Structure formats: structure tokens, C-alpha cells
Structure 1
Amino acid sequence: MDEISTGMLLVILAVLLFLSAYFSGSETGMMSINRYRLRHLVQNNHPGAKRVQYLLDRPDRLIGLILIGNNLVNIGASAIATILCLRWFGDAGIVIATFGLTLIILIFSEVTPKTIAALHPERISFPSSLILMPLLKVMYPIVIGMNFITNSFMRLLGVNPKQSQMADALSSDELRTVVNEAGNLIPTSHQEMLVSILDLEKVTVEDVMVPRNEIVGIDISDDWKSIVKQLSNGQHTRVLLYRNEIDDAIGFLHARDIMRLMSKNQFTADKSILVRAARDSYFIPEGTPLNVQLLKFQRRKERIGLVVDEYGDIQGLVTLEDILEEIVGDFTTSMAPAPSESVTLETDGSFLVDGSANLRELNKEMNWDFPTDGPKTLSGLIIEQFGDIPDARLSLRLGGYPVELVEIGDTMIKQIRVFPELYQKPDNQTND
């Protein structure tokens, strides 16, 4: 080394520091790249993405190659720096070279290139793959030998080195986070629909069904004049036909079938015509998730069904439109009142709410946080809290909200006053 000039040693040191920065930045860029965007680019035949994916298919080999190169150049740089400092400072040069080179490597060959690579992984990893690919082939025997030792040790620790991280799938909660953080890349309305689709598995048919007491139906036992009047004034395309009580359902009458009977002058005072025209009822077990029911509607070519409990009693009615509204929002043709129609803002900042208001719809529209894992209505939630229908106007804290019972009926609580500004998060409630 004595024959090599100081100027040449400085050039060699600068080159080694540059190579160290290259290996450090390449490692961070490769590991920081968005794997799902990378897959998209690969599907679009992006050459740089294909090279990076090939290297990331076996991250143990990639990391081994980069670390071999990085350690070689760092050790070389350390030797050159020591020689230079010995020439300049004598025996004290060893200490100066140790601390000085450590500081230089940290700033220029570690922190700076890794930060840049973390901020712009594609700009670093795609060009780097042009060098790493042939370098891996040249150093393949060394990399394989080192990986054999390290992989054997990892297997003892229960780690499978051949498992590619790119094969990792996102859970529904993780995918929901990705959608929410998409920002301007996805319009807000589309984000809401995508999240609603993911939430379908958490929502059951009871959450969106028309309750039993609100089902519009025709009792075949009524007199003929009353039946004709109900058919003529009906606001629904399909009407349930039953005998005496809803649990004895006959089937659904479609408006198109009624019009066909009228056009053929067959609409006489004969109830048997209606019974024959009724289409068989489709029954849905309670507790069925909406994503499952949506597929069942599709496979069976159905659009409406009756929700039944374990005893076969009808609990409510669900339509295909009810499920679609969970995804895209309410349709303008919906006959059901919106939650805002059940909520009145008072001058003191409180809200007067109908007891029959659906909890999920209240939470969604009013941005409240009432528990929805039990009763479906606000009245039902309060009755569950007391274990009975209160016989006096009381105040209580319900799901963290101070509420006041305003009007109490014989079978339900008709009106409740809610004070959302005084909301306190329950101790046992945690953020997702």
C-alpha cells in the first residue's frame, strides 16, 4: 500500500463509500416497495417490476447478496481509511479513522441513502435491479453457501425462508385500512361502497330487514272488496299474501301478475285465483350475513325473502334492494323513512328520537355509537337495559350517551331524548 499515492487511496475510499451507499439504498428500496403496486406493474409487463419481483421471490438470497457486497466495501473502506489516517496522524490515526469513518458511513452511506430509498422505493429499486440481477448470478455460489448456513439456523427457529412475503394476503380489516387511506386515488363515494362491501360479512339480515310488525301484506281471509282495495293502493311491487296471520304465509303476489289477471278479465271475486298466482315464499334463517345472503339471492334468482327464527316464526322481510342499499346507500324509491325523519334537533342541542329508529341507521347517519350487537331499535336497547318497559320517565346513560325517556307506550318507548354532546366512551369500549 505504500506505493499507492494518497490521492489514489482517497479516490478508492470515495468509490467504496459510494458502493456502500448503493447497497444500503438498494436494500431499503427493495424492502420498502409497495408489493401490491408491484404486482400491478408486473401484470402490465413493467420490466423493472419483473426484475424486482424475481429478486423478492427469495428475499433471503437478495439480502444475502446485498449484505455480502455491503460488508466487503465497508471493510475495504475501513482499511483504506486506517492507512490514510496513519499517514496523516501517526499512531493516533487508528482512533481517528475508527470514529471518523463511522460518522461518514452513517451519514453518507446509511442514513441518507436509506431515507431517500424509503421515500422513493421504485426510483431506487428498479434501476438497482439492473445491477443486482447479474451480480447475483456472479456471486451465486457464495450466496448459496451463506444462505445454506443461515437458512438451516432459521429452520431451527421455525422460520421458513422460502415463504415469499408477496404471497401474504390482506385481511378484511387490513384491506379496509388500505381503502380508507387511498385518499384522492379513489373517490370518497367509491371508498364508502368498497368499505360497505367489506362490512357485509359483519351485518346480518336482521339488521336490514323490515320488522314483522311493518310488513305490508294481504290477509286472504279478508273480504274481497278489502283485498281489491289493498291491491289497487299498494305501493310495493311484491306483496305478501297470508292466511289469518303472517306466520301462515302463502306467498308473494307480484304486481305484474295482478295486472295480467286484470287484463284477461280473470279478476273476479275468487280468492283462489290470488292463491294460485302467489309465488312460493323464500325463507332466510336469522343470523345470515348479508354477503352470504347476497350470493343466495343471486344463485336462486330471488329478490325477496322472509326471515325466520329457529322455530320457523317469521321475524321480518328482506329484499335484494335492502342489501344493495347497504353498499351504495338509500335509493330514491325507498319507502322506508330515513333516520333523519325519526330525529328532531332541539334548541338545547339534544335530539328527540323515535323509539322505533334503527340503531345501525342512527349510528351511520348521526355518527353516533350505540351498541348494535343486541336489539335493533333504540326502544329495544333501553328495554333490554331495564329488563322491562319502564313505567316512568327516567334518565340513564345508554352506550355512553345520556338519554331521557320522553314518551312511554304500553308495548314500547315511543320517544327518547339523546344528548350526544355529553357522550362518554364506555370503559370496556376500545378503538378498532
Structure 2
Amino acid sequence: MNEVSTEILSGILFLLILISAFFSGSETSMMAINRYRLRHLSRIGHRGARSASQLLDRPERLIGLILLGNNFVNILASSIATIIGMRIFGDAGIAIATGILTFVILIFAEVTPKTIAALSPERFAYPASFILTPLLRILYPLVRLINIITNIVLRMVGIKLNSSQTDHLSREELRTVVKEAGGLIPKKHQSMLTSILDLEEVTVEDIMVPRNEIIGINIEDTWSEILTQLSLTQHTRLPVFSDNSEHLLGILHMRNAIHLSSSEKEGKSELIKALHTPLFIPEGTTLNIQLLQFQKFKKRMGLVVDEYGDIQGLVTLEDLLEEIVGEFTTDVSDTISEIKPQEDGSYLVEGSANLRELEKKMGWDLPLDGPKTVNGLILEHLEDIPEAGTSMMINGYPVEVTNASENIVRRVRIFPLLRKNLID
């Protein structure tokens, strides 16, 4: 070194600082790069992404290579800086060179390149991978030795390195990714994607039409009454019962009802022959499973039954799709006829109103992990059937029972504005 001029040593020192900056930026960019975008670009043939992906398949080797190169360069730079400092300042040059080199490496070889790499990891990582890949092949024996020693140390402290381990997004993490996509995904599509993720948490009981609200045909009615009902119905499929909703005969598709005979005896006989076997759905079935069941059996309607086989409600494919894409109508007064706004800001709500529908349409934060209807929520809260005029507080909402019979709460008044004022 004594034969090398100070100018050449300064040039070598400057080059070493640049190399140190390269290693520092490479480490940050490789660790900060979006792994899912990297895999996508790698699959479509992006050379830089493919090279970076291969390096990240074994991150312990990549980190070993980068740290080996970075430390070697920094130590060599420190030695050269010490020689230059002693030539210029004498014995005091050791301390001066150490202080100046520490500042220069910190600013220009650590903070600055790492900040740039963190802000634009792809622009830094892809070109760097073309240098790191051949460098890893050249230094592989030394990197391998470092990895072996490191693994031994990790095992001593109880950490096992699993090279096949990959990161997977949970449902909540995937929901966050969708919501943070910004303008890349329209808000309506974001809502649909998050709704698909929620299908595993929602059961058929949450969206079914309750048994007492099922519109069907009673085969015991007169033929003229049945024909009138068929001509006025807005549904394409109707369940057909005998005597009551417990004795189900089958499902009638309206296209099969067009050619029914006008005589009562022949008409009812033809109607029964035209019935399709119903699809029964166990209560508690999640919507994602039920969607697959509809597809498997080529059905668009199913009847929810409890553990005793009793019919609890009816679910259609349309109901399920509305959980994903939203309601096909937008007017709240049309979609929830059980809700009537009042002048004082309160709402009269039927006891049969579905709690999830109230949350979706009105934005109310009601408990959804128990009963499905307002009536069930009040009965669970009070553990008794209340009389008209009974008031209570449910999840911060003042609720007043306005109409009740011996076995059911028929109508309540809810004061969402009072809850808002209490929270504020």
C-alpha cells in the first residue's frame, strides 16, 4: 500500500463506498419487494423478476452473500481510509479517518441507498439481481460455510430454518390488500371481493326467508284459487305444500304451469307430476358451501331444515348472489318494508326484520352472533316476552316495544339518533 499514491487510494475508497451502497440497497430492495407482484411478473417471463425470485427462494443465502460482500467492502474501506488519514494528518489521522468514514458510509452507503431502495424496490432489485446471481455462484462455498455456521447457531437458540416455508395471506390480510388497492380496483369491485371473502362467515340462516313468510301453493286450495295465485305470483319457482308448510310436495317451476288443465282434478294431478324434488339445506351451512351445492345440483332454490328435518326457511340463488354483488334494488323502503321512518328520527321496525338486513341497509351496529331477527334479539336480551311499552338498551340503541302478543314481539321503535348522541 505504501507504493500506491494517495490519489489512487482515494479513488479505490470512493469505489468501495459505491459498492457498499450497492450491497445496502440490494438488501433493502430484496426484502421490501412485493412478493406477490414478483411472482406474477416472474410467471409472465420478466427476466429481472425471475432472477430476483430465484434469489429469494433461498433468502438465507442471499442475506449471507450481501452481508459478506458489504462487511468485506466496509472493512477494506476502513483500512484504506486509515492509510490516507495517516498520510495526511499523521498519527491523529486514524481518529479523523474513522470519524469521517463513519459519517460518509452512514449517509452515502447506508441511509441514502436503503431509503431509495425502500421507496422503489423493484427498480433497484431487478438490476441488482443480475449482479448478485453470478456473484453468488462465485462465492457459493464461502456463503454456504457461513449459512452452515449460522444454522448451527440458530438451532442452539431453538430456531429451525425451514427453506420451504412460504407466506400466505389470511382472509383479513387479503381484505386489507383489496381495500388498499385504491384506484386499481373500483370501489364496487372491492366491495364484491370482500363480500366473497365473507361468505365463509355467513350461514344460510342469515339470509333465508323465514318459514312463516314463505310464499307457496297449498294443494288443498280450490283449483281456481291456485290458478289465481299462479297468475299473480312474481316468482319463477314456488314450493307446493299439502295442508301446511311442514308437508312439502315439491317445487313448481312456472314454465311447467303454463299448460296445466283448467279442470280441478286433472289440473292438480298435472301440477303434482310437474313438481321437482326440492333441495334441502342443513341449517348452519355457510354461503360459500351452499353456492357450490347450488352449482353441483343445478338448483336455484333450497329449503333450510333443522336437525329434526323441520323446514326453517327458504334460500334462493338470488339471495346468495345479493350477498356478493349487493341488492338488485336500491330503495330502502322497497327492500325493507319492515322499516318505517318517523318524524322524530326514530324507526318503527317489524319484529320479523332480519338483523343483517338492518345492518346492511341502515348501517346499524346490531349483534349478529346470536338471533337472526329483531324479535329473537329482544327475547334473548330480556329472557322473557315483553309487553308493549317496555324499553331497553341493546348495543347502545334505545329500543321500545310498541306491539307485542303472547308469544312474539311484533313491532319496536329504535332510536339511532339517541345512540349517536350518546356516543358523541
Distance 1:334 1:303 in 2: 25
Q: Deviations over 1:307-359 (max 9, x none)?
A: 000111110000111111111112249999424x4444444444443333221
Matched, 1:127 2:148: no
Please say if 1:204 is aligned against 2:189.
Answer: no
Alignment map for 1:18-417 (pairs within 5 Å): 18-156=18-156, 157-164=158-165, 167-262=166-261, 270-332=267-329, 337-339=334-336, 341-410=337-406, 411-417=408-414
CA distance in 1: counterparts of 2:333 and 2:296, whole angstroms: 27
Indicate how the Cα distance of structure 1 residues 326 and 7 shifts in structure 2: closer, same or farther if over 3 A, else same.
same
- CA distance in 2 between counterparts of 1:111 and 1:9 reads 24
Structure-2 separation of matches of 1:251 and 1:307: 14
Q: Report which stretch shifted further, 171-180 or 266-275.
A: 266-275
**Secondary structure of residue in 2 paired with 1:45:** coil
Alignment CA distance shift 1:12-1:273 (3 Å)? same
Give, in whole Å, the separation in 1 of the partners of 2:418 and 2:124. Answer: 50
Query: Is the CA contact 1:402–1:420 (under 8 Å) kept in the aligned structure 2?
Result: no
Structure 1 residues 359 and 244: CA distance shift in structure 2, 3 A: same
How many residues align structurally?
421
Secondary structure, in 3 states, of the residue corresponding to 1:397? strand
Cα separation, 2, equivalents of 1:88 and 1:352 = 90
Greater CA drift, 315-324 or 253-262: 253-262
**Structure 2 letter corresponding to 1:62:** L
What secondary structure does 2:304 align onto? strand
C-alpha spacing 1:247/1:390, structure 2 compared with 1 (3 Å):
same
Letter in 2 for 1:296: Q
**Distance in 2 between residues matched to 1:84 and 1:121, nearest whole Å:** 35
CA offsets 1:27-48 (integer angstroms, 9 cap, x no match): 1101111011111111110111
State the Cα distance separating 1:209 from its structure 2 match.
0.5
Paired-residue identity, %: 56
Contact 2:339 2:347 (C-alpha < 8 Å) held by counterparts? yes
Q: Deviations over 1:135-193 (max 9, x none)?
A: 111111111111122123334423224235xx322122211111111110011111111
Task: Confirm or deny: 8 A CA contact 1:393 1:408 kept in the other structure.
Answer: no
Describe the shift of the 1:31–1:48 C-alpha distance in structure 2 as closer, same or farther (beyond 3 A): same
Structure 2 Cα separation of the partners of residues 337 and 315 of structure 1: 24
Query: Could you tell me how far apart the structure 2 residues matched to 1:321 and 1:425 are?
Result: 38
SS of the equivalent of 1:147 reads helix
Report the more deviating stretch, 167-176 or 209-218.
167-176
The SS at the match of 2:260 is: helix
- Give me the whole-angstrom Cα distance separating, in 2, the residues matched to 1:68 and 1:109: 15
CA positional deviation for 1:18? 0.8
Q: Secondary structure at the match of 2:393?
A: strand
What residue identity is the alignment partner of 1:103? F
Quickly say closer, same or farther: Cα 1:125–1:395, change in 2 above 3 A: same
Matched to 1:139, the amino acid is: L
Q: Which amino acid aligns with 1:208?
A: I
Q: What does the per-residue CA deviation read over 1:79-98, in whole Å, with 9 as the maximum and x for residues that have no partner? A: 12222222333333333333
* AA at the equivalent of 1:370: L
In the alignment, is the contact (CA less than 8 A) between 1:204 and 1:288 conserved in 2?
A: yes
1: CA distance, partners of 2:230 / 2:265: 13
2:403 and 2:409 in contact (8 A); partners too: no
Displacement after TM superposition at 1:423 (Å) = 4.5
What residue identity is the alignment partner of 1:123? R
For 1:418, give the aligned amino acid.
F
1:429 aligns to what? none
Residue ranges of structure 2 left out of the alignment (5+ in a row): none
Choose 326-335 or 384-393, whichever is displaced more.
326-335
Q: 1:261 to 1:392 in 2, by over 3 A?
A: closer
Query: Deviations along 1:385-426, whole A, 9 cap, x unmatched?
Result: 011221142332212323333444452241322224524999
> Letter of the aligned partner of 2:392 in structure 1?
L
Long gaps (5+) in structure 1: 427-432
**Paired residue secondary structure (1:100):** helix
Q: Distance in 1 between the 2:129 and 2:418 partners? A: 56
Q: Secondary structure at 1:260's aligned position in 2?
A: coil
Alpha-carbon distance in structure 2 between the residues aligned to 1:304 and 1:425: 43
> Higher mean Cα deviation, 371-380 or 345-354?
345-354
The TM-score with structure 1 as length reference comes to 0.91
Check conservation: 2:222, 2:264, Cα contact below 8 A.
Answer: no
Asked if structure 1 preserves the Cα contact closer than 8 Å seen for 2:332 and 2:361, the reply is: no
How many angstroms apart in 1 are the aligned matches of 2:270 and 2:114?
A: 79
Structure 1 residue 5: Cα displacement: 2.2
